[in-house]
Chains A and B, each alone.
Chain A
Amino acid sequence: MKNLLMLSIILLLISGCSDSAKISIYHVDDDQEEIEALENVLQDNQKLSEAAGVFFDHQLAVSLQVKPMSKFNKEKIKKSVEKEVQAKFPNHDVFVSSDLKITWELMKIIEERPIEKELEEDLAKLQSLAKEET
C-alpha cells in the first residue's frame, strides 16, 4: 500500500517533469505573429506545465500552471513571466495569473470563443477575481 503510493508518486514526478507546457492561445483578431511571439516566451520556460493566453483589443490575459516541483517558486515564476511578456508586448495591457481558477476560466474562453462584448466582461471579471485577497 505504502510502496504503491511511493511508486505512483515517483511515476507522476517523472511524467510531470518530462513533457513541455501545453499552450493554448486565442487571438480575437487572429494575429499569427503575436500568437507565435507569446508561444515562444511560454515555450521557453521549462517550469510551466500548462499555459493559456487571450488577446483582445490591446489586452493580454495569460494564465500559467507551474510544474508541481516548482510550485514553491510559483510567485517568482509568475513575476518573471509577467516581465518577459510585458517586454514583448509593450503596447498591451498585460495580466498574468498563476491561479488554477483563472486557467480554467481562460480555457473556457478559448473553447467558447465568445463575441467581443462578452469577452470584455469576462476578462474584467477575471481580473477582479484575481485581485481579491484571501
Chain B
Amino acid sequence: MDANTYQQTVDQLAPKRPVLRNCFTAFLTGGIICAIGQLISFVYMYFFPFTERTASNPTVATMIFIAMILTGTGYYKKIGQFGGAGSAVPVTGFGNAVISAAIEHKSEGFILGVGANMFKLAGAVIVYGVFSAFIVTLIKTILVNIGGISW
C-alpha cells in the first residue's frame, strides 16, 4: 500500500481534534486559573506586606501548592483532559509536570527516582527559558554597549 494515499485516507477518516471546543475550554480553564491567581495575589497584598510586583512570588508558590494537591488526588489530569492548554500553560501545569513525575518515579527511590526524574517533563521549560534569557540579554547588552538603545 502506498503510504501517501494511505495518509490521505487517514486524514479523511480519523476524527478531527475539536479545535474550537478545545480553545473554548482552554480559555475557560486557563482564565479561571489566572483569576484565582489574581485573587490569591490580592490576599497576599491585603494581609501581608507585598506589593503588586512582589506578591507574584508567593502567588506562584501557592498555585503550585494547589497543583500538588490536585495532582496527588488525581484531579489535575481530569482538568487537563478537559482544559488542554488551559491547565498546561499556567504555572500550575508546570507544577503538575514536576509533581506527577516525582510521584511516578517514587518507586525507584528518592534519589534515582524522584530526584533524577522530577524535571523529566518540565526540564525543557527551564533549559530553554534560561538559554533564551541568556541570548536575549546578551544581545541587549551588546546593543546597549554599542549605543543606540538604553536599558
**Chain A contact residues, CB within 8 Å of chain B:** 99-102, 104, 125, 129-130, 132-134
Contacts and interface: CB of A to CB of B under 8 A. Distances in A.
A134 B46 contact: no
Contacts, number: 28
Chain A interface secondary structure, helix, strand, loop or mixed? helix
Contacts of A132: 51, 53-54
Main SS class of interface, B:
loop
Interface of B: 45-46, 49-57
A99 B46 contact: no
A92 B83 CA distance: 53
B53 A99 contact: yes
A102 B54 CA distance: 12
A134 B56 contact: yes
Contacts of A125: 49
A100 B53 contact: no
B54 to A, nearest CB: 5
Q: What 10 A-B pairs have minimum CB-CB distances, sorted nearest first?
A: A101-B51, A99-B51, A101-B45, A99-B52, A134-B53, A100-B52, A132-B54, A129-B49, A129-B51, A134-B54
